Amino acid sequence: MGFTLNSHLMRNGTPQLSSLKRTLAMLEAIIADGGQSSVSALARQISMPIATAHRQVATLVNEGYLTASGGGRHVAGSRLLGLLHQLDEKQVVANVAAPVLHELASKVHSVVQLGTFENDMVTYRIKTGRGASDLFTRIDMQLEAYCSGIGKVLLAHQPEAEREAYLANGPFVALTENTITDPAKLREELACVADRGFALDDGETSPDLRCMAVPLRNGDGSVLAAISVTQATGSTRRISDEDLRPMLLKAAGRIEQDAFG
C-alpha cells in the first residue's frame, strides 16, 4: 500500500495545501487592495467564506505579515515589509530565471549566465551548465562591461548620458587582440547591439570563447538584465549563431513572462 501511494505521488507531484493557497490568495488580495476594503468585502470578491478570511487575516496579523489600519482594513505588516526590503527587482528576476537557464544549459551543453549592471560593471548572478567551473567568471563577481556579450547588451540599453559617461573613460584595456578598446568603435558596436537585439563577444575576453547575449526586459520595457551562452570556438558541438539566437530569445521571453506577466 505504501509503495502504491509513493508511486502515485511521484507521478502526480507533491500534494498542495489548499488552506495555504487560500491564505496566500487572501494576502495577495489585501496587498493589491492597498487597505481600501474590509476583510469581508475582499472575501466576497475572491469567493471565500468570510469566517475563513477573518481567521486567516488574524493569523497573518499575529505573525506580523499584516497590520490593521482601522475599519476592518489591513495593510502590509512589518515582517512582510522586512522580507520585501531584502529583495531587489534584479534578484527577483534572477530567481525566476534560474530554472529556465538550467534547462537552456542542458540543451546547449555550454555555460549559461545572467548578469546585471551596477556601478559600470557586470554582476554575474547565475552561472550554470557544462564547463561552468572552468570559466573564469563566478556568481557575484563583477567584471568590466565593454568586452563581454552581457556587458554590451547592458551598456547598449543604458540612458544615453550614462552610456556616454561610460565611454568617456576609454580607451579600454585590451584583453585579447579582438577586444574593442576605442570608445568610438565601441559606441558603434553598442548601437548595432541595440538595433539587432543581441550582442556577441567574439574572442574579446578570451581568444577561444564566443558568447551571445540577449536582454531581459521588465514590465515597462527597460532592460533589467541580460542572459548569455558561452561556447568554446573549437568545440565540435558548438551551436551556430543562427540556431542559438532563437533559443536565447525564447528563454528570455519565458523569464519575462514568469517575472512580469
What integer pLDDT is reported at residue 131 of this predicted model? 80
The topology under which CATH files domain 89-260 is Beta-Lactamase (3.30.450)
What's the pLDDT at 194? 97
Q: Classify each residue of 139-156 as buried b or exposed e, where b means 16 or more C-beta atoms within 10 Å of its C-beta.
A: eeebbebbbbbbbbbbbb
Q: Residue ranges of the domains in the chain?
A: 2-85, 89-260
pLDDT for the residue numbered 86: 66
The HSE-up count of residue 48 (CA atoms within 13 Å, CB side) is: 25
- In angstroms, the CA 125 to CA 95 distance is 9
Q: Is 51 exposed, middle or buried (0-12, 13-18, 19+ CB in 10 A)?
A: exposed
- Between the two ends of the chain, the Cα-to-Cα distance in Å is 42
What pTM was computed for the model? 0.72
Tell me the one-letter amino acid at 45: Q
For the chain, which residues score pLDDT lower than 70?
Answer: 1-14, 85-87
pLDDT computed for residue 196 by the predictor:
97
The reported pLDDT for the residue numbered 13 is: 56
How are beta strands 223-232 and 209-217 bridged, if at all?
Answer: antiparallel
Cα gap 197→148, rounded to integer Å: 15
Fold exhibited by the domain 2-85: Arc Repressor Mutant, subunit A (1.10.10)
- Residue-wise pLDDT for 87-145, tens only, equals 678 888 898 999 999 999 999 999 999 999 999 999 999 999 988 787 888 888 999 99
User: What per-residue confidence (pLDDT) applies to 85?
Assistant: 66
